[in-house]
Structure 1
């Protein structure tokens, strides 16, 4: 998400002139008519990421909050779809934000979502703060320190560490891919319970969470499935993966066969020899 939000900085200052949706169920607790009316002719003041959310801050303390889920993509286009919306619909484009830049040149943000899991919400300033307060610390934020990380995961002592890393109320922003890769680099089994981790092991997990996430951002994300950046290009971190979806293959460090299990209803990938 960080890569996409960075790309979206190019539309800051633009004005939303219209909005169309072909999948209104993505709009959370608001009708298409009310959503479109609320955001129309509003200037985009800033765009930020918090956890897995993209937050588009508008004039008058309104914010469009987007969660891409598994297959959502936000694509910036200068090819405005005038009279060709049916064609967009057939290419998994579920929503279109029409924009006008300061130069008055029109463009669009196309919201593609193959599996239709992504969501769009409209929050005022108070609701946005409430959302942020429900989420954990952001692993790319200034509050993400070794001490805060240790305190955060300590709230779930009896849960397995991989499940805790993915709990958005504990740490906001780590998904399945990065949780598996972080624990591999830290040499910690995903099945270990938080209460059984030593102080040194916790610091190692923190260290490699920073290292893995920063490398992923530098390589513009991980395209193992539908992920694309705002220009439609694939990321490159998938070429650096060590265990995610590598089950049945040899570990690159010890040649042991990588295993797959289920933790918290999500797949976990790990080397049974390197990770303990």
Structure 2
């Protein structure tokens, strides 16, 4: 599933490429994921211009000049592609099978298209009044954004105070506590902070808490610079893979040697997800 860096990459690219463009129409062959309904969606966005984009956790928000907004969640395999007359036949769009599962197409007056490719078809789009975006249950329930200035050692301490008997690996994935972190960056941040995923939060020292906050932000910023990670289906709006996978230390590297100490990387179930760690570097 796309995490904060992948979603922010898409949010930034949509704003850069589509701001000011006017919507001509919408096509969809999977209308059950268009809310509140396909006809209402079309009525509310047709003829409007894009003002800008925002991100809330893993949600994408596209704001229009008619006081409506599209809220999107990519879910497991969704990603947006932006096509125009100069790139429509590029190899990334025509030869990469991951980019071929197009189920929704938003067309603009100049025939540029914003296309939603989603192999598993779990992703959804919803149109709402802009003023109520932050009141939507899936957004209102989000915790502090992992890249925001509000995610500090102090805020982490407050989180720990209420979850003393939970593992830090589990807490980092709770979107209603800290928004934006998924399994990839959970594993990478804990490695950088030298903390084992199943440590109870109450056992973390103040120095370890400081290291963790710093590590979370460091790994997310690095992933942003590299366009995210394509661990399977994610592609940016040009149809290209991110490059973070070239730099990862532990995620997806079970049975390989640790890049820092040479110890074999271990994969272990933690809750419903797999955690990756180095038993030598992490404690």
- Structure 2 length normalisation: TM-score? 0.88
Contact 1:153–1:170 (CA<8 Å) still a contact in 2?
Answer: no
Out of 140, 149, 165, which is 1:158 matched to?
A: 165
Q: SS at 2:140's partner residue? A: helix
Tell me if 1:108 matches 2:117: no
Query: Residue 245 of structure 1: CA displacement?
Result: 1.0
Can you give the 5+ residue segments of structure 1 that lack an aligned partner in the other structure?
82-86
Contact 2:11–2:54 (CA<8 Å) still a contact in 1?
Answer: yes
Counterpart in the other structure of 1:44: 50
What is the aligned-residue RMSD (CA, Å)? 2.0
Counterpart in the other structure of 2:105: 96
Structure-2 separation of matches of 1:126 and 1:156: 33
Tell me if 1:217 matches 2:224: yes
Tell me if 1:142 matches 2:140: no
Contact 1:52–1:172 (CA<8 Å) still a contact in 2?
Answer: yes
Query: Residue 136 of structure 1: CA displacement?
Result: 0.8
Structure-1 separation of matches of 2:231 and 2:276: 15
Mapping 1:171-210, distance limit 5 Å: 171-210=178-217
Q: SS at 2:187's partner residue? A: helix
Contact 2:19–2:51 (CA<8 Å) still a contact in 1?
Answer: yes
Contact 2:187–2:277 (CA<8 Å) still a contact in 1?
Answer: yes
Contact 1:180–1:268 (CA<8 Å) still a contact in 2?
Answer: yes
Structure-2 separation of matches of 1:230 and 1:149: 34
Out of 70, 74, 78, which is 2:80 matched to?
A: 74
Query: Residue 157 of structure 1: CA displacement?
Result: 2.3
Q: SS at 2:150's partner residue? A: coil
Structure-2 separation of matches of 1:152 and 1:59: 38
Query: 1:209-231 deviations in whole A, cap 9, x for unaligned?
Result: 11101110011111121111111
Can you give the 5+ residue segments of structure 2 that lack an aligned partner in the other structure?
1-6, 89-93
Query: 1:85-129 deviations in whole A, cap 9, x for unaligned?
Result: xx99x92101000113xxxx2200010001112121222245312
